[in-house]
Structure 1
Amino acid sequence: MAVTNDTIMQKMQKELTQAKQLSTDETAMKKHIATIQLLCELLLEEESTPTPAVSSDITEAEMKAMTGKQTHSKPLDTAGKIMEQDGANGDSIFDF
């Protein structure tokens, strides 16, 4: 649910009015000023955030590569193969 800029501006005006009324109480006034600052930052952040551009220039191969759904021409069959490295002679961890 997005908040419109007009709503933020109205809240800022309300906080400014309350800050003016409480000008004798410095801590309460600073609280309202801090709220105005927060609303300003929210408004500025919303304006500076770029909207993501939707592009349909992605090819099917690129989409498969990004999602990890690639088709392999040969099935990978590692079952039944015995690797012999550095004197290893079996597929068990106890084969020395």
Structure 2
Amino acid sequence: MAIDAARILNEIEKHTAQARKGDPAKMRESIAAVRALCDLLLENDQLQKDSTPRAIPLASPQIQPVSSASKLQEEDGANGDSLFEF
């Protein structure tokens, strides 16, 4: 969902005006809001550039059977085909 850049810029102007006439605490809040709005505007611009559809190949994993020759040798006291053979 893209946000209109003009709307964001209007909000930046409102917060800039508040920052100019407010006390230091309000000024800090307004500046933080301007920063967030600028980040939103830049992010929105980047999303529009990256909105080209990308194809993701869907491939099913291939399971290769294990031949008995490639299995490890069974040792005395081993648990067979267990992953936890020590």
Structure-1-length-normalised TM-score: 0.53
Q: Is the 8 A contact 2:19 2:28 kept in 1?
A: yes
Equivalent in the alignment of 1:38 = 36
Q: Matches of 1:31 and 1:10 in 2, distance apart?
A: 17
Q: Which structure has the larger Rg?
A: 1
Structure 1: gaps of 5 or more residues: 71-75, 77-84, 88-92
1:18 Cα shift?
1.2
Q: How far apart are the structure 1 equivalents of 2:8 and 2:45?
A: 13
Specify whether residues 55 and 15 from structure 1 end up closer, same or farther in structure 2 by C-alpha distance, changes over 3 A only: closer
The alpha carbon displacement at 1:67 in A equals 4.0
Aligned partner of 2:69 in structure 1 is none
TM-score normalized by the length of structure 2: 0.58
Tell me how far apart the structure 2 counterparts of residues 55 and 26 of structure 1 sit (CA, whole Å).
Answer: 47
Label 1:3 to 1:51 Cα distance change in 2 as closer, same or farther (>3 A).
same
Aligned length: 76
**Where in structure 2 are there 5+ consecutive unaligned residues?**
66-72, 80-86
Pair 1:68 & 2:56 matched: no
Letter in 2 for 1:27: A
The structure whose RCO (Cα within 8 Å, separation 6+) is larger is 2
The ranges of structure 1 where at least 4 consecutive aligned residues each deviate by more than 6 angstroms after the TM superposition are none
Separation in structure 1 between the aligned mates of residue 52 and residue 37 of structure 2, nearest angstrom:
27
